[in-house]
Structure 1
Amino acid sequence: MGKWPSKPFWRGLLITGVCALSVGAMAGSAQARVVRAKAPAASHEAAPPASTSLPALQAQSAPAEARLLEIYKLVGAGQTRQALSKAEALIKDVPNFQLAQLVYADLLTAQMRPLPSMGHAPDDLAAKAPQRLDQLRMEADRRLQALRDRPPQGALPTQFIELPPTTKHAIAVDASKSRLYLFENGPHGLQLVADHYASIGRLGADKSFEGDQRTPLGVYYITSRLDARKLTDFYGIGALPLNYPNEYDRRLGKTGGGIWLHGVPSDSYARSPNSTDGCVVLANPELQTILDRVQPRSTPVVIARSLQWVTPLKTEPQRRSLHNLIEGWRVARASGDLNRLMSFYSPQFANGTRDLNQWRQTLEKEVTQQRGRALQLKDVAILGWKDKSDILVVTFGEVSDGQRTGAVKRQYWGKEGGLWKIFYEGVIG
């Protein structure tokens, strides 16, 4: 196994290639043009009206990123001829992977003549593409960083406190690493099954208002699936909208919308790390693996500035404590004791149509209708978030004794004076 190349070495490997690209030495292959339907009015990033046809994803089935990283390893081990051969095969299979094209260009140059130093390029050429060069440097940085800094074995992001068996998958995005992690929920709990390079907002993370070109931070859910046939080619093979702004975002006064996970145009393979209007963007083959698996409405998506990983064993005391908290609310809800039930709610409660006093009237009707029957909570999901304050996002099915189904509710809890209080509750299904 070859060692990883040093950062100055592989960074330099990009420079000759990007300069060659800037003067047209490596033009991308032409793609047939087709007309696609317009994106829905709620879409958010400016998309060109005409688009190119989607490439066959079969040619990109082998992970292109893994192949590129293997090339870096070969370069670091001094095996440049093998690296060149693998780079040539990679760009043949994935011709629109620009970072791979640039590495191939530098490897070719190194075969033909010695470079004064890796990263050397004539000033007049280097000056023609400084911004694109910086973007490619950052992309290479992020890809290598994420593959070097692997999550601890068996660890999970701290936000995933409890997920029911009906939640088959979960997603977490680390904005600082430009990385998306896909988890599968099986008999042994959540397991990391894939992770992919991802692009976020031009101005980084922590979205606050419409048009700020930032990606939101928080706990979200996929709300639907948008087919590529209903979108322009700009969005690639499809899109998964998120429920931004969520109720906590609204409480903080955040605005905007139209935040999606989506793909790239068919004449591209990937975008630079900070290049979207707020969406999370993946290469089409990698987005396809997500589209094939996740279910709208039940799949949580955590977007964090930097993910913190912890083993389930270490979070078990917290999980039990929060499970008992939700169980306490259930018992109060079923007891018919309205005052006891109201003690779980924040004075600042608001669900968009009702304040706390109005919500008390709603709960009074629900408690009366319950008539002392047992109440079960099914498929309980508990997700945590912490920035300015501690937040819980709790989703469950509420089923009364004698009934087979009931309303699906979502609650947002926040800490007030050290105690958990519900500041939002609503029916979502």
Structure 2
Amino acid sequence: MSSTSLHFSLLLVLVLGGSTCLAASPPPDPFDAWLRPATPPADGFSVPPDLSRARPGAPVAALARGRVLEVEGGRVVVEHVYYENHALLSARVGYAGLEMVGPRVGDLVERGQVLGRVGRAAKVSLVVHADRPLSSAEAIRFTAERSKLPVPAEEATLVLVSHAEHQLRLYERGREVLRLEVGFGQASGPKVERGDNRTPVGMYFVTQKARGKMPGPYGAYYGGHWMRLNYPNAWDARRGVARGWVDERTAARIATAWVARKDTDASTRLGSGIGFHGWAEEWELARTRGRMSWGCIVLHPRDLSAFYERLTPGAMVVLF
């Protein structure tokens, strides 16, 4: 085989001692895997109807956008992928006792799309699986709490920040426009409480931008740029409730402000004051290990202006 043929091969085949091995494919890009899952993410769930009262021939619709995994007789299983905080999760809904089933395995279905009709011979049923089969009451609560879900790829401005990659990517309507190296808090791991010098993981929104000389003894370490996020968010607040740091009323207030893309309560033990900024001088990842701030995301001074100009108030930021 010529060298030209080798260069154009899609798979490199190695023959060793009479055995044939395929070269390992590169690992998936973590940003693409998070932002563009194989199944388009759901933008919300409908509450399951009470099928016990449905008459034969009544339409049965998909609860959310998803992909059909199984069609067998009168049974249809649909997988739904959705975002919850910084996590990409999935749930399955099984429909049984249907007739006149339309979709096939592998088809994409939209929320409200008719999957089939209530059969005459078998009892119709609907079961939601989220880690485990949910009871009817749990399924109603699960879907009601997720009636509206974010679709990050559709955001006007989106920033994804990977702790593992020490990288930031900025997207406009799903198109990548910036890719930058970043540093984090001095301590490793997700932020837990005020003063732990950790950078959080989660979904947040930009609430404030400022440029110019910053006040205070550490003002120079902002690099003349500050972009505030609304940490803590609703999931941080629930974590605070579980630990006894936040009461239910405060948690509800935090959740409401977070949904509105406004500043959240900065007075709790969860901490606050998380955002993007620069540094007092140029820095190197190899020398600093990216452990620099008290919990903020640190950019190189050379990248600050371009990032600041593109980051709009209200922009979604996901740290994972």
Q: Report the TM range for the smaller structure's normalisation.
A: 0.3 to 0.5
TM-score normalised by L of structure 2: 0.42
Is the helix fraction higher in 1 or 2?
1
TM-score normalised by L of structure 1: 0.32
Is the strand fraction higher in 1 or 2?
2
